[in-house]
Structure 1
Amino acid sequence: MLGPYYDNADGTTDGRIRLNIQNPNGIEPGTWKYEVYGYKVTGTEDYTI
């Protein structure tokens, strides 16, 4: 499990959260799942993964 992460985690409030997963032995194969929740959002917001 990773997170939670918030917009200002990188020191800038810009609507972006950058997450870079690295492992010299590779990343675990299989099905990965993610959940995205809005926090202090009015209306709807678009996002990309």
Structure 2
Amino acid sequence: MVDGNTVERAIGKLKRFRAVATRHDKRGYVHPGTVTAAALLVRLRS
């Protein structure tokens, strides 16, 4: 089971990406793809 601290740290890492933190995407359907790309980069860097 995942504790709250792990989730908060993961969200913090994703918010380091400007496009995710500020939702710069003009279309709503693009945002999930941006979050997925950012999550992949976070995972590959760790």
Q: Does TM, scored on the shorter chain, surpass 0.5?
A: no
TM-score (norm 2): 0.20
TM-score norm. by structure 1 comes to: 0.20
Of Structure 1 and Structure 2, which has the larger fraction of its residues in helix? 2
